[in-house]
Structure 1
Amino acid sequence: MSSQPESQQDSPLSSKVALFNNVTKSHIQSQIANPFSESQGERGMQRLKISKEEYGRPKAGSLTEYRGKKANIQVYQEMLELCTVIHDEGQPVSKKEPELRVILFGELFNIYTHINDKLVGLMLRARKHELIQFEGEMLFQRRDDHVPVFLLKPLSQIREILVGKQTEIRRSLSPNPQPTGVL
């Protein structure tokens, strides 16, 4: 027989009660640590407070932030290529300002689709940055082939603006980005 009294031996019921209590304790701890939980114990975390500037943005120094900034650098490069194509293939708007060019959307579409398949998205982004101008919200192949696309600034100025933005982003890149779970 065993040397322990029968009341101290593990019974099937007491082991199940102990298991249930352990699960309950771990659940309570996870709820205390969960900022979205309604229960905030004595040691519970405060509700997540996000400022307007932080909302919808990745954590500073995270791999997600790094990838986003690298993508922005690439988009600025593609916008510069688009403006270069408009400058090289377009016609001068006037003799007074030969640096400002215009090209029909249909012609630009035929030229540029061999370079990049994201022409309309890049055009919208370039218009947002006030580099080009065209009528309408969106241009569609064939329907809007006759719509002129204007370069609003000389190519040298556009290059200076976009390269400056790329340089600014490169300077702000974290040299050693971390996965969000580590931060």
Structure 2
Amino acid sequence: MMGTNNQTTIIKETGNNKQSPQLSDDTGLSIGSVKDLKENWQKWTHEHREYQEHNPFSHNTRPTAAVPQKGQDTYGRPLVGSMTELRGKDAHSNISREVRQLCEVIRDIGEPRDKDGAGDGADDDGKVMSVHFGKLFEHYVTISNKVVGILLRARKQGLVDFQGEMLWQGRDDHVVITLL
């Protein structure tokens, strides 16, 4: 055996006891004769063509399945039962768990305040739990480094409220976050 450029020369005996050299590469494909080269090429092109028919980013194929149009219930959603759908469900449950955990932390370290913002320490009707962003950030950053993103998600779900579009550590430490 001799080898150059990831190819190995194999001496193959044919039926009439003549030896003909064949090349074999890392894929295990035998590329000794022109006929073998042609067969390997045809096999590869057939496999590639089949792959491209199922590739959604290929421009030279027509979709084999009906593509949902805007306004349909399935538009912008992964196929039912696909790995993408499973990953999306897992991500959703993880984010929901983190939002619940953040609300529990606010409830634990927060102070009861009137809905208008004045706090007297009592937890009566008309009171909400509130915490300053700086205090929440310092406490929650040991749990997760995605404090701001989780706060934005919780506000989108209507669980917390705070002033401003985005909170920044240091600059917005005085912003009050209210658990609704």
TM-score (norm 2): 0.59
Q: Cα offset for 1:63?
A: 1.6
Partner-residue secondary structure (3-state), 2:68: coil
Aligned to 1:96: 125
Aligned to 1:108: 136
Query: Partners of 2:66 and 2:149 in 1: how far apart?
Result: 35
Query: Partners of 1:47 and 1:84 in 2: how far apart?
Result: 45
Name the Cα RMSD after superposition.
3.4
Q: Give the one of 56, 68, 71 matched to 1:50.
A: 68
- 1:120-178: CA deviations, max 9, x gaps? 000000000000001111000000000000111xxxxxxxxxxxxxxxxxxxxxxxxxx
Q: Cα offset for 1:65?
A: 0.8
Q: Cα offset for 1:57?
A: 2.2
Query: Partners of 1:84 and 1:37 in 2: how far apart?
Result: 50
Q: How does 1:1-150 map to 2 (within 5 A)?
A: 48-52=66-70, 53-94=73-114, 95-98=124-127, 100-150=128-178
The structure carrying a bigger helix percent of its residues is 1
Query: 1:96–1:61: structure 2 CA closer, same or farther, 3 Å change rule?
Result: same
Query: Partners of 2:68 and 2:165 in 1: how far apart?
Result: 33
Partner-residue secondary structure (3-state), 1:82: helix
Q: Cα offset for 1:37?
A: 5.6
* Alignment gaps of 5+ in structure 2: 1-34, 115-123
Give the greater-gyration-radius structure (CA). 2
* Alignment gaps of 5+ in structure 1: 1-14, 153-183
Aligned to 2:27: none
Query: Partners of 2:59 and 2:152 in 1: how far apart?
Result: 42
Query: 1:109–1:49: structure 2 CA closer, same or farther, 3 Å change rule?
Result: same
Between 1 and 2, higher relative CO (CA 8 Å, sep ≥ 6) is seen in: 1
Partner-residue secondary structure (3-state), 1:137: coil
